[in-house]
């Protein structure tokens, strides 16, 4: 990520110039300077997507998100541009995918079955269910279960970017990007609710099997890509995708399918 950020002085001067002039040439310089962010986000997002989704397509969608972030970034807010832009870029990529309805209805149904199965089994067993137990409950082979987890991996990614408090017909709802702190306003009730939500998620994560917990930590907290995680754990990228999908299915099964973490 260090390759994205030039000297702070040069960066600040460029942003100040763009705020005053809104010159397209200056914007182009900002786009080129922060372009590595798009590739970075695409690499991470691709971890949970089917092989049919091309990384180049994600990058194309993400460029529009970067441009939107540059145009709407508020220099007066105490938020790093990279933090703001990553959320915008990721959102643009997901919006691009949704526009093509890339997740079939059958896959969504399969995800619901998996969530219910993990919830039912783990509630009954009082611990994390093994692959063999889940496969037996579904009356499928372990290999078939592995295929199902790979099939639903796209949903495991998008669930983290959906609205957190429902969505009305106008598409209104609280999205992750909207929880970036505004230092000019204080919402103590919202802060308490957010902290409680984080606590519930953290507790659920600690109950995951070791490898799944490690994948979640490396992906969401350390910001690593599937390729990097596969090198650390010395397994294939498809195996990492299975572990990631399984972890998300467990979490949604425990916290509720509508609990967007």
Domain of residue 130 covers 105-255
Quote the CA–CA distance of 84 and 122 in Å, as a whole number: 37
Write down the pTM of the prediction. 0.51
CATH code for position 189: 1.20.140
> Does 58 share its domain with 173?
no
Question: Concatenated DSSP letters for 37-68?
Answer: HHHHHHHHHGGGS-TTS-HHHHHHHHHHHHHH
Q: 124: closest CA among 254, 258, 259?
A: 254
> Does 118 share its domain with 89?
no
Percent pLDDT > 90 in the chain is: 21
Q: What is the mean pLDDT of the chain?
A: 78
> Does 212 share its domain with 118?
yes
User: To 10 degrees, what angle do helices 188-206 and 237-255 make?
Assistant: 120
CATH code for position 12: 1.10.1740.10
Q: Does a structural domain hold residue 2?
A: no
pLDDT confidence band for 6 (50 / 70 / 90): very low
Ramachandran bin of 99, using left for φ above 0, alpha for ψ from -120 to 50, beta for the remaining angles: alpha
Residue 149's pLDDT is: 86
Q: Does a structural domain hold residue 1?
A: no
Q: Does a structural domain hold residue 38?
A: yes
Percent pLDDT > 70 in the chain is: 74
pLDDT digits (tens, 9 = 90+) for 24-76: 899 999 999 999 999 988 888 877 676 667 788 889 999 999 999 999 998 88
């Amino acid at each position: 990520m260090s390759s994205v950020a030039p000297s702070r002085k040069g960066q600040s001067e460029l942003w100040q110039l763009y705020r005053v002039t809104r010159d397209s040439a200056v914007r182009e310089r900002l786009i080129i300077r922060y372009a590595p962010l798009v590739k970075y986000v695409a690499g991470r997002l691709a971890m949970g997507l089917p092989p049919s989704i091309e990384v180049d397509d994600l990058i194309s969608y993400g460029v529009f998100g970067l441009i939107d972030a540059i145009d709407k970034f508020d220099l007066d807010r105490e938020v790093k541009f990279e933090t703001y832009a990553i959320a915008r870029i990721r959102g643009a990529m997901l919006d691009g995918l949704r526009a093509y309805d890339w997740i079939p209805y059958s896959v969504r149904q399969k995800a619901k079955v998996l969530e219910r199965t993990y919830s039912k089994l783990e509630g009954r067993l009082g611990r994390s269910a093994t692959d063999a137990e889940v496969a037996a409950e579904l009356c499928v082979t372990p290999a078939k279960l592995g295929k199902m987890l790979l099939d639903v991996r796209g949903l495991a990614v998008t669930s983290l970017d959906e609205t957190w408090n429902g969505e009305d017909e106008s598409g209104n709802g609280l999205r992750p990007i909207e929880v970036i702190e505004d230092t000019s306003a204080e919402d103590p009730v919202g802060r308490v609710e957010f902290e409680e939500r984080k606590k519930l998620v953290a507790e659920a994560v600690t109950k995951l099997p070791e490898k799944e917990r490690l994948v979640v930590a490396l992906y969401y907290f350390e910001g690593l890509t599937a390729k990097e995680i596969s090198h650390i754990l010395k397994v294939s990228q498809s195996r990492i995708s299975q572990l990631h999908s399984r972890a998300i299915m467990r979490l949604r099964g425990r916290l509720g399918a509508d609990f967007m973490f």
